[in-house]
Copies of this chain bind each other. A is one copy, B any other.
Amino acid sequence: MANSEYEYVRKHETWDALAPENWIVVRIDGRGFSKFTAKHNFTKPNDKRAIDLMNSAATEVLRQLVDITLAYGQSDEYSFIFPPTTTLFDRRASKLATTVATLFTAEYVMQWPTFFPDSPLTRPFPTFDGRCVLYPRREILRDYLSWRQADCHINNLYNTTFWAMVLQGGQSGTEAELELKGTLAADKNEILFKRFGINYNNELEVYKKGSVVYRDLSSSIPSAEEPQSRTQADKERKKKQKATLMVEHVDIIKDAFWEARPWLLAEKARKSR
């Protein structure tokens, strides 16, 4: 057959399965979003419509990929967490990254008119790149999520102060940037409060904490514990599909969030003994 003489080229495809029993994070990031947000006049420092759209798109990704345990988003990025036990796409990195990124992108552009009814999309359309990162232990995964939430806080405090100085204080961007250089959190809080009467603590939680999306399995038995029969796995899949998807803006650095939702970080039980 004519085909077979060329088919040898398939052996150049690499098998990019991710190491087993590691947590998988697929993080997506908006491509060229500074230009994009300017073009569509996002409000500063935060555009509530844009954040709601991000969260709505992420929620839909979780609905379609039941293997995802949890997602955390802030600004134009979102991190999707797959548990160590996942075998989705045989754990192939490129399948995981491109599937999550294209699902998110499709939702983002399709839902856009709902959140921005008066600002139709023009080219270049918004897109998101993505990558897989592995974390060998739940403690390190938590540090990853803490890193993203700490980043959210730091950026938001900076941006809130910067835009108050510019929009309310009438400073130029360059002036504000210069003044903020090297300041600590306390300094920024003081600028906000003294100059603009803004108590940072009263800012919306969604701005200060970002958003965590997860399946509420609180009423069901913990998963991912023991190797399961086919039927058990099917049952569990259905349970996940039916579970309510929660979107919250809460602290995920401290232990409380995780202790109250123990199914989120369950690691595979040891096979032996």
Contacts and interface: CB of A to CB of B under 8 A. Distances in A.
Q: In the complex this chain forms, how many copies of it are found? A: 4
A127 interface: yes
Interface string A261-273: 0000001001111
B98 A146 contact: no
A45 B20 CA distance: 36
* Residue from A124, A135, A147 having most chain B Cβ neighbours under 10 A: A147
A61 to B, nearest CB: 10
Given A64-B124, A95-B129, A271 B6 contact: yes
Interface residues on A, range: 35 or more
B109 A272 contact: no
Contact of A136 (B19, B133, B144, B270): B19
A270 B143 contact: yes
A127 B11 CA distance: 26
Contacts of A139: 270
Contacts of A133: 12-14
A94 B127 contact: no
Contacts of A97: 94, 97-98
A21 B140 contact: yes
Interface in A126-156: 126-137, 139-140, 142-144, 146-147, 150-151, 153-154
Interface in A40-70: 60, 64
Nearest to A96: B129
Contacts of A7: 147
* Residue from A94, A135, A146 having most chain B Cβ neighbours under 10 A: A94
